[in-house]
Amino acid sequence: MTIFFKQDPVIQCVCRYDTFVIMYPDTYKELGFSINQKAHLELNGVDLTTIITNDRPVYVVNELLIRQHLHVYRQTFQKFYPKSTSIFYASKAFLNLGMANIVQQEAVGLDVCSEGELFIAKLAGISGQNILMHGNNKSRTELQAALDAKIYAIVIDSVSEFDLLESLSFTNRASVMLRVNPIIDVDTHPAMATGIYKSKFGLPLDDNRTTDLIMRMSKSTNVFFKGIHFHIGSQILNLKAYTEAIDAVIRYLSLLQKQGITIDTLDIGGGLGVDEQESTIKTIERFSKHVCSEIIERCRQYEVPLPKLAIEPGRSVVSQAGCTLYRIGHVKESDGLTFLAVHGGMSDNMRVALYQIKYNACVANKMNQAPIKNYKVVGNCCESGDILIENIFLPECKSGDVLVVFNTGAYSHSMVNQYNKHAMPGVVFMKNNDYVWTTKPQKLEDLVQYDTQLQ
């Protein structure tokens, strides 16, 4: 059976593009993919063409890989950091009840940034002590819900948010952290950079009001000031940005120390990127080693006691563990392009429109056919920007074929919408030769579930 990889010299010479491939060979196997006798793509031993039963897309999640990523995070931080490390999976990357169950079973925490995410965490039985709350505009209701759930920490984003928190009624002392902005350049899409000048998130390190707020927090009888948080952005592969942020923040901790404040925990946020050329396991190992040694070194240099560590990985936990299945509809030649339209698009994956993400894909039912034709893969939403893949070589496609788009585990399901009243797709979790629907696909009636007809 022929499997076409990026390195394949024949294909490279035929197409002279690098967008047609299935995937890099090592990565492909490590992610759980294989090809069966019918030349269909399988994930964890399940034929992906059997999952898609109608014209709606399906989010497919490799449950085993998510568990493995969480395990590697726990293991590597334990190995490289001498003090305790808490891992809070950033639920904004992908959350349904099944995912919250995995978080709970794998004994890591959950980072939530809304009442909805907190609700799901509690429903899945995650204890308050394993929940961290973010958000740049927490409401009274959200702050109260966080207090009631006695969570690990509320990460405060502004002075007025802390004022609001202090105005609530406390039955116990609540732990708080402050989100600071180290103001550094990050090598990522501008929409994914959060630790930059004029960011809406956190308080800048070079502003006296930041220190004033920390003073207030540490003197408050309602709260325990646990420490400092920063999150510099997402899809970051150049670790230099972490080096700079860690340096800036630990230098700041040494200034705080001079004012009598030492922190219990430093939370370095999430942000680690996913490189489709290698398995995320290797990326996580490199990242853990790098940030741990940078923190240890800077604390030594600035004579700051080593704090406990918290991290909030999202994308790196779930991205490579997810792929989306699409039924191919009409194929149209127009203006020198061949449009391949799928039943899905920006309603189930906003990332191409938002961040111009480049996806890789293959045809699940034609794994023995050479990718000989160039397509522009578009969705079925009434928007010109509804493009899934700008330019990709695939085998000759026809209506009914199943397109698999890789690396969609992060920030696609979590941004799902009902534009054009497309019912939301379901989510399937794959184990060994087995799968389960952890979110059912919506039915048409669900589209009007909360509507009332006018008389």
Please give the positions annotated as active site. 382
343 binds ligand PLP (CB under 6 A): no
161 binds ligand PLP (CB under 6 A): no
> Are the beta carbons of 196 and 184 closer than 8 angstroms?
yes
Could you say which DSSP state residue 128 is in? G
> Are the beta carbons of 425 and 378 closer than 8 angstroms?
no
Among 35, 41, 87, 90, binds ligand PLP (CB under 6 A): 90
In terms of CB distance, is 198 or 219 closer to ligand PLP? 198
Task: Name which of 9, 17, 21, 7 is nearest 370 in CA terms.
Answer: 21
Task: Name which of 69, 73, 80 is nearest 290 in CA terms.
Answer: 80
In terms of CB distance, is 361 or 410 closer to ligand PLP? 410
Among 227, 314, 344, 409, binds ligand PLP (CB under 6 A): 314
The residue range among 37-45, 88-96, 167-175, 242-250 that interacts with ligand PLP, by the rule CB under 6 A, is: 88-96
Number of chain residues interacting with ligand PLP (CB under 6 A): 17
Binding mask 374-393 for ligand PLP (x = CB under 6 A): --------------------
Binding mask 131-160 for ligand PLP (x = CB under 6 A): ---x--------------------------
CA atoms of 441 and 439, how far apart (whole Å): 6
231 binds ligand PLP (CB under 6 A): yes
Please give the structure tokens belonging to residue 347: 């309603």
270 binds ligand PLP (CB under 6 A): yes
Residues in the chain: 455
313 binds ligand PLP (CB under 6 A): yes
The residue range among 65-73, 276-284, 308-316, 338-346 that interacts with ligand PLP, by the rule CB under 6 A, is: 308-316
> Are the beta carbons of 108 and 87 closer than 8 angstroms?
yes
Q: How far is the CB of 19 from ligand PLP (least distance, A)?
A: 24
Q: Could you count the other beta carbons within 10 Å of the beta carbon of residue 444?
A: 8
CA atoms of 157 and 155, how far apart (whole Å): 6
What is the DSSP pairing of strand 435-439 with strand 426-430? antiparallel
351 binds ligand PLP (CB under 6 A): no
Q: How far is the CB of 294 from ligand PLP (least distance, A)?
A: 17
Binding mask 408-427 for ligand PLP (x = CB under 6 A): --x-----------------
Torsion (CA) 233, 238, 239, 241 in degrees, nearest 10 = -50
Q: How far is the CB of 226 from ligand PLP (least distance, A)?
A: 15
Beta bridge partners of 66: none
Q: How far is the CB of 374 from ligand PLP (least distance, A)?
A: 32
In terms of CB distance, is 82 or 116 closer to ligand PLP? 116
| Secondary structure element (H or E) that encloses residue 90, with its range | strand 85-90
DSSP 193-228: B-SSTT-SSSEETT-HHHHHHHHHHHH-SSEEEEEE
User: Of all residues in the chain, what percent are helix, strand and coil, respectively (each to 5)?
Assistant: 35, 25, 45
CA atoms of 374 and 436, how far apart (whole Å): 34
Most distant CA atoms of the chain, gap in Å:
72
92 binds ligand PLP (CB under 6 A): yes
CA atoms of 256 and 252, how far apart (whole Å): 6
Among 32, 182, 271, 344, binds ligand PLP (CB under 6 A): 271
Among 298, 315, 343, 413, binds ligand PLP (CB under 6 A): 315
Could you say which DSSP state residue 12 is in? H
The residue range among 265-273, 276-284, 419-427, 444-452 that interacts with ligand PLP, by the rule CB under 6 A, is: 265-273
Interface positions, 185-214, toward ligand PLP (CB under 6 A) = none
| Binding interface with ligand PLP (CB under 6 A) | 90, 92-93, 111, 134, 231, 234, 269-272, 312-316, 410
